[in-house]
Homo-oligomer: A and B are copies of this chain.
């Protein structure tokens, strides 16, 4: 029984990687750069995206795909606050997006003319890290209230994310969050991670992150 399950999972992951590569090629042919945003529930993905989009809007035509198990509050927020094209994806209970789900969503989303696509994955620090979505880069968020020890407990998420953003830094004193310890913990999982500290609410650090993303996209063209 165990063997069968493991075998199916390997097949699923292998099939997923193939589809992710196909999707990346397709998006490249359309001149679109895609960023997969992952984090725990309530870590501030939507708030950060809203602020990032307001800056990046000047240089890019942006689209946002919001994945949730249920509800559409995030898609509404992004759409109302930024005016960019937004689509809500429901995962039918699934804890993560696959490349196929992402591709299906893109097929239902008019991407002509876009050059930057944000994919907000399901709020989950575990499963989304296992599945390549076909994005160009993974950006993960860790919020201060979650604690600086999370890279020790959720290794894969930190391993697969080239950008790690520590959010809600305005409350670091209340939560006794140790940035240096957290950074060391992140770098232990991924020595090449680029780490940012932001407070989207207070507009701190978002500009630096936006500039880094601009550079990334420039380099990829």
Q: Taking beta carbons and an 8 Å cutoff, which residues of A are in contact with B?
A: 1, 4-5, 8, 11-12, 15, 40-43, 68-71, 73, 93, 95, 122-127, 143, 145-147, 149-150, 152-156, 168, 171, 174
Contact of A171 among B12, B153, B171 (CB under 8 A): B171
> Are B71 and A149 within 8 A (Cβ)?
yes
Q: Which residue of B lies closest to A74 (CB)?
A: B153
Task: Pick the most buried of A8, A11, A122, A143: most chain B CB atoms within 10 A of its CB.
Answer: A8
A-B complex: 4 closest residue pairs judged by Cβ atoms = A42-B146, A95-B126, A145-B145, A71-B152
CB-CB < 8 A to A125: which residues of B? 40-41, 123-124
Other A-B pairs, 16, CB within 8 Å; known A40-B42, A69-B153: A1-B11, A4-B8, A40-B41, A41-B125, A42-B143, A42-B147, A43-B146, A69-B154, A70-B152, A71-B149, A73-B149, A122-B126, A124-B125, A124-B126, A145-B145, A145-B171
CB-CB < 8 A to A146: which residues of B? 40-43
Task: Pick the most buried of A1, A71, A153, A156: most chain B CB atoms within 10 A of its CB.
Answer: A153
A122 to nearest B CB, angstroms?
7
CB-CB < 8 A to A73: which residues of B? 149, 152-153
- The CA-CA distance from A125 to B126 in the complex, in Å, is 10
21 contacts between A and B (CB under 8 A): A1-B11, A5-B8, A40-B125, A42-B143, A42-B145, A42-B146, A68-B153, A69-B154, A69-B156, A70-B153, A70-B155, A73-B149, A73-B152, A93-B156, A95-B127, A123-B125, A123-B153, A124-B125, A127-B127, A171-B171, A171-B174
